[in-house]
Structure 1
């Protein structure tokens, strides 16, 4: 796929690649699948702490060989089993892309300071916590107990865990902030940015 954003970055990405963006004070971005090729992706949005929510936007686009793996899991964010994501975040979170073969068993153990976990299943059937999942999202009970997974058919999913966001969530049309004042400023920045030549150029992507 091709990509571009209003920070001035543009290019192309192949299968398994990652777009990382810290939106901060505001950014517009666009992407288009390669002609004639199907594309499937995952998108995760994270609320930023006050010290970062209005900072200038930053973005990184990395090919798959930059992402470390541990067994069937690629470490997209955080640290897991002595492997680390290339992206820095000032909060405690793990986010893994996992592919399991039919009948394969795998256990995810959240970090000691994590108290919430979730997964989203894109392919196959998955048995966990006494239920069977198929193309759906699951949120686990609060805590950091190990999560045991059993694949039925070839399975693809993302799984994550984190320490809960300690700030209020103030939601707007485009973003989430920690206060009404920060949300107002962020949405003004986004509206202003939309009028710039950099944003207008995204129509070509």
Structure 2
């Protein structure tokens, strides 16, 4: 499984299934049929329910996200996970999660608002994106026009800090660093904790001092 894809998380999926704004989907490529049940209207999928074709799904997806819709529709080997972030016409961002079944002839899963899965996208200590989510967001941003800077830096002597202060106090330091980074960069910057002591930022070129901003925040 590539590192830049969401992993199938059973806990968050079960929590999502208990919500009122979740739908189940089954994709059968040989029949060119997507079946949808659940809160399709709340997710902006009402025009597609209960059955639709691949062309209908593409048409409802915003043009800039249609390449991601193909990640749902493309036939894969059994056991291959599906994890896609889509924006639909007249609706917010939704997350499609599932898995390919039966020799790659059928895939099934859940679709829910992005907020239902938000916790799995974030580093719990800092509130920044985790490594996997950073890669996904960076890929999406690079598909847009413009030039971008990616800055990576590490926090010196974090292990010594853990030994001197204890893990609980060191965790407070990391939480404070997350807040400092969020305050130092523009709101549209993509910020993440990508390792135990590593942080990354992706910004529009020239939008901020870049590496200097990250260094001062750390």
Is the TM value for this pair above 0.5?
Answer: no
Q: Which has the larger radius of gyration?
A: 2
Instruction: State the TM-score bracket (shorter-chain normalisation).
Output: under 0.3
Higher share of residues assigned helix: 2
Give the structure, 1 or 2, with the largest relative contact order (CA under 8 Å, sep 6 or more).
1
